[in-house]
Amino acid sequence: MRTLDLHTVCESARCPNMGECWDHRTATFMILGNICTRACGFCAVPSGKPLGTPDQDEPERVAEAAAKMGLRYAVVTSVNRDDQADGGAEIFARTIRRIRERVPGCKVEVLIPDFRGNWDALGMVVAARPEVLNHNMETVPRLYRRVRKGAVYERSLELLRRAKEMAREMPTKTGMMLGLGEEREEVLGAMRDIVAQGVDILTLGQYLQPTREHLPVVRFVHPDEFAEYKRLGEEMGFKHVEAGPLVRSSYHAFEQEEAARC
């Protein structure tokens, strides 16, 4: 990572599962720089105005890192790049293709931003045929303005629906954080909204405050409650639900993809 000047969301977002995932030859690369154009209240990634245009050589360096690490599953995510017309979609697509070329046995999952509703940009990513397309809802509608600045609940739902329409055979995925003040019925309501878009995989994890400047934890959700959400989610029609305190979007990503295709 250091020699190739790359970023991982594992480090930038302070994920608690980094060691376990890397040990299983799964890593999450964060492309399009390390500065996000949005300032979400939960996220540890630095926000501000990115300097210059996206690095056009980054897809090659990500592919080289995947080859050197011997990855069997690569997750590619990014900061929001609202300063770019396509939100960075072209770089996403080239990164998927270069990983496939350099590491033929490596599967690729993408965790994409909303591209501000630019559906041509979404189509560009889908056309590169990632094994899984993920876009996180993050929280329930009532908390969006406080938690996900710049995002729109209905727009994210539409993205997930359109992605499935563009490639029916491609598993789609989303995740939410719990512990930000949401109520049980709000979580279940959001889950019903999500599964109605044809989403295959749902992840639910505990929100952890990265610094004192970020949103506080309202409560810690008991593991039994996570287990209940998993059961109810599978009854709703999700092919796979990963739910637990330390679950993050890319946690057990390899296993989730396999479960979604069964």
pLDDT band, very low/low/confident/very high, at 12 (cuts 50, 70, 90): very low
Q: Is the pLDDT score of 253 beyond 90?
A: no
Question: How much is the pLDDT for 51?
Answer: 82
Among 127, 86, 139, 135, smallest CA distance to 110 is for 135
Any residues with CB less than 8 A from the CB of 196 and at least 6 apart, and which? none
The third-level CATH classification (topology) of the domain covering 7-260 is TIM Barrel (3.20.20)
What's residue 2's pLDDT?
A: 52
Residue that is written with structure tokens 């609940």 in the block = 153
Task: Starting at the earlier edge strand, list the strands of the sheet with 73-78.
Answer: 7-8, 26-31, 73-78, 107-111, 132-134, 172-178, 201-206, 240-244
